[in-house]
Chain A
Amino acid sequence: MLRIVASASRPSSVSLLSVAHRRNLSSTSARQADITLTVDGKEVTVPQGSALIQACEAAGSPIPRFCYHDRLAIAGNCRMCLVEVARSPKPVASCAAPAMPGAVVFTNTPLVHEAREGVMEFLLSNHPLDCPICDQGGECDLQDQSIRYGSDRTRFHEIAGKRAVSNKDLGPIVKTSMNRCIQCTRCVRFANEVAGVEDLGTTGRGNDLQIGMYVEKMMDSELSGNVIDLCPVGALTSKPYAMQARPWELKTTESVDVLDALGSNIRVDSRGVQVMRVQPRTNDNVNEEWISDKTRYAYDGLRFQRLTTPLIKGPDNRFVTASWPDALAAIAAGLNQTGAKGNEIKAIAGHLADTETLVVLKDLINRLGSDNLASDLEGKYGNAPPVHGIDVRSNYSFNSTIAGVESADAILLVGTNPRHEAAVLNSRIRKSWLHTDLVVGMVGTRADTTYGFEHLGEDAKALEKFLSGKVKGEFAERWAQAKRPLIMVGSSMAEHADGEAVFGMLARYVAATGERIVREDWNGFNVLQRVASRPALYETGFVPSRAATSTTPKFIFLLNADEVDPASIPADAFVVYQGHHGDRGAALADVCLPGCAYTEKSSTWVNTEGRSQLGRAAVPPPGAAREDWKIVRALSEVLGVDLPYEDLVGVRDRMWAISPSLVRWDGLEGTSLEVAKAGLGSLMSNFYQTDVVSRASVTMAQCTRAFVTREKTSLEGLGKEPLQAHA
């Protein structure tokens, strides 16, 4: 069973109840015994409780394996990791054996070679000769290990042939060819522990062992694509990617995902001009080794409905292809014609707007005299500053850090379903829930989050009741005693009528509990963003002023904004849409400017923790599309606005002047305790009020609307979710 990953490893001899939490800053990392053993003549020191396979890897002798995986429980059934240990009568399965002090291990002796050849022979005896048609060819563990560790000739002369197993239908994501399965049970362990859908299992025994669901069932998990990575052979492969490409044709580019706000590290594999697939990258601070299905499979949307040339809407309401100078001139003419000045010039930033473009656009709009910088939040909330305010970073970020979620001992979810909003974060909560005595309580729409939680209610009244201590129950008790309680507020609370009340309530509660939730080494107040551009929006100050909220815009610049309500755009306004897909936003526009999608530009993305990450361009943009910030910069020239930068270095310098954390890629800048407290103080006193109406709804009597989390699909359509996703 996988232990909690923390900043330092910990001893395994400690019982479960005394699992050490993250230490405070003054002490050293967790003390534990280190043991020394000898592997192939090299001395190596590893923490006590390590498996022998980890010790051998640390010593520089990697051991082949099929069923062992760093992040799953140990099964020990493939027997490929056999090594010879001195004074042991049999070879030892190094994944299951603990590293003992003073052990002398050999990984290269004839006995070990014979053991590996034997295991290989057994595995291959029932493995079909599918390499030419198998998707895993070229990145197959079985292929590589049989070349390296297997015998050179076969002894398989069975007249009856090989075992055949029927294929299981696991849904539209995972393609199964169970003939190729070597029964390593990695998929079973993943589904059980990480994904939380305990549906996969083994049926039968011995030669008749089959992996499957036993009943015909889809794999209803938003992390189901990860079993494709885990499977060492081609038994579980990717259905959308089936038969498309071979791994040696692909050029890999390391980038960052933008389909949710986690900023999962991905590796984009492309061939020529097309993105062929998206694979995860290991980063224990963000996404461990998993990515959600939406991240993994949304890339095929990059090929359809792309804006490739600038478009100008003709008098008959049809778009006409135009050249760049013409399109920019048309925008300048449109701006003059509408006579928009001051706050009548509005910019709306969408879900996939990158930080460089936000910075340049904000500068442009500000220099045109406007503060009307909206975002496409639901309803009217996008046109007003968010209720939690943008002044202090800790008010809108995930302050405990994603890795810090594992050290929480009680989690309160408010108006969020992390399973849909940040699937990989949800698996981390599940990991913590499985291996420690974490308890979770939820206020919001009841949903299946893959871990048990106590449902405390659906609306702000229920939250108030809980926070005032009137609720009895196991969660309330454990919450009261928790040393590291964590409150996770969903970003949909900022788009809810009771959002202000909820944030105020929570801020008052946090202040009242003193050092329990917010202190030097632990900030348990978190807002889970679900849209990739929001943290950057708030970080750069891309919010409207109150005066701007009430102004009717005459010139609207939509930056990737596809969730705007068409009714909110005045009929006589001149609309410009800059983005990469011809979706709802482009249909509303008078001029469309083609920009780049996230795989085509090298831009900064800020995740929900405030961690800035640099994506990388994998493929060139289609047609005449240009990089987004360059379009806005060119537009500024045409509009006669002087922006003080001309190249990427200048833009990055400007980003540094706005907030240095924007250019500190891969690092995390926290908020100091005093500033965090100032931020919470302002939440308490409702400084961020938007209008009279929402101020009036602060009274508890009106807080009856249930928190509905902002998912696009219903809970029943879980397994179908990835199909409809695109950029």
Chain B
Amino acid sequence: MMLARRQLVPLVRRVAPSISSRSIASDAVSPAQSVAATTPTDVVPVAVTELLTAEVISGAPSELRHRAVRVYQPTRNTMQSGGAKGERWRIDFDILQGGGRWENPLMGYASSADYMQGARVTFKSQEDAINFAKQQGWDYYVQQPTVKRIPPKNYSDNYLYRPNKLRICKTK
């Protein structure tokens, strides 16, 4: 069964089942019109420009078209305070069920039947990553970027007056 490819709606088949596949309400506002689209974009297709797809000449095995790819911004390592890695976008393959990894009997290394398990492509922006996935003909899922809301911080907050009973004695 052929999986749908090259649509902005990831993992949706072309042959519709008895109900309209992932259809939208007749009065729904498409994300292109709404101001801040916070819901995932699996509902409304955006006009896809014609791309020259690389998969025709890339020589990649056809099994690759059935595997899903995740487009995401890697999360910041919480052990460190440098956050530059989290600004880039990455494409990563899901592990292959049954062909993933096993321990090599000779050296104990991780052998794998999955030739894409080490493939990790980095991009500067989400659009670049999505275009690349479309070009290669991969089904992709876009993970929402990290939700981070850090309020303005102020040293004088350490000394703010609290009425009523003290809830914390600031030691350090």
Contacts and interface: CB of A to CB of B under 8 A. Distances in A.
Asked if the two chains touch in their complex, CB atoms less than 8 Å apart, one says yes
Interface of A: 1-7, 9-12, 16-17, 46-51, 54, 62, 64-66, 69-71, 73-76, 95-98, 136, 139-141, 144, 185, 188-189, 192-193, 198, 201-202, 228-229, 232, 247, 252, 254, 265, 267, 271-273, 279-285, 289, 433-434, 437, 451-452, 602, 614, 616-621, 626-627, 644, 646-650, 652-653, 656-657, 663-667
Given A201-B172, A283-B146, A51 B152 contact: yes
B100 to A, nearest CB: 3
A647 B151 contact: no
14 contacts: A3-B157, A4-B151, A11-B152, A12-B157, A16-B162, A46-B152, A74-B153, A95-B153, A96-B155, A141-B80, A192-B168, A229-B78, A252-B74, A620-B99
Contact of A267 (B38, B75, B141, B152): B75
Contacts of B172: 75, 185, 188-189, 192, 201-202
Contacts of B168: 192-193, 198, 434
Contacts of B170: 1, 73, 192
B5 to A, nearest CB: 12
Interface in B147-166: 147-158, 160-165
A667 B154 contact: no
B29 interface: no
A29 B91 CA distance: 34
B147 A283 contact: yes
Q: Please classify how large the interface on chain B is, using the bins under 10, 10 to 19, 20 to 34, 35 or more.
A: 35 or more
A198 B152 contact: no
B115 interface: no
The 4 A-B residue pairs whose C-beta atoms are closest, nearest first, are A620-B100, A272-B110, A1-B157, A50-B152
Contact of B156 (A12, A198, A283, A620): A12
A351 to B, nearest CB: 23
A281 B1 CA distance: 36
Contacts of A98: 154-156
B42 A12 contact: no
Contacts of A254: 72, 74-75, 143
Contact of A144 (B1, B80, B98): B80
Given A54-B150, A192-B172, A619-B101, 16 more contacts: A73-B157, A73-B170, A74-B154, A74-B158, A95-B155, A254-B74, A273-B101, A279-B78, A281-B146, A614-B141, A627-B97, A649-B12, A649-B13, A650-B17, A656-B22, A667-B40
Nearest to B117: A251
Q: Is the interface of B mostly helix, strand, loop or mixed?
A: loop
Contacts of A201: 171-172
B26 interface: no
Nearest to B86: A282
A5 B153 CA distance: 11
A7 B13 CA distance: 37
B83 interface: yes
A17 B149 CA distance: 22
Given A12-B157, A51-B153, A192 B171 contact: yes
A318 to B, nearest CB: 28
Interface string B18-48: 0101100000000000000011101000000
B148 A62 contact: no
Nearest to B101: A273
A328 to B, nearest CB: 17
A619 B152 contact: no
A619 B95 contact: yes
B64 interface: no
B11 A652 contact: yes
A1 B80 contact: no
B79 A617 contact: no
Contact of A647 (B1, B19, B70): B1
Given A62-B83, A649-B11, A617 B95 contact: yes
Contact of A48 (B100, B147, B152): B152
A666 B160 contact: no
Nearest to A231: B79
B144 interface: yes
A452 B103 CA distance: 52
B49 interface: no
Given A51-B154, A273-B103, A649-B3, A666 B13 contact: no
Nearest to B141: A614
B97 A5 contact: no
Contact of B154 (A49, A614, A626): A49
A376 to B, nearest CB: 27
A109 B21 CA distance: 59
A7 B17 CA distance: 40
Nearest to B98: A620
A711 to B, nearest CB: 25
Contact of A16 (B75, B102, B160): B160
Interface in B104-157: 109-110, 141, 143-144, 146-157
Contact of A141 (B81, B103, B109): B81
A11 B156 CA distance: 13
Contacts of A434: 167-168
Contacts of B21: 653, 656
A5 B149 contact: yes
Contacts of A189: 172
Contacts of B38: 667
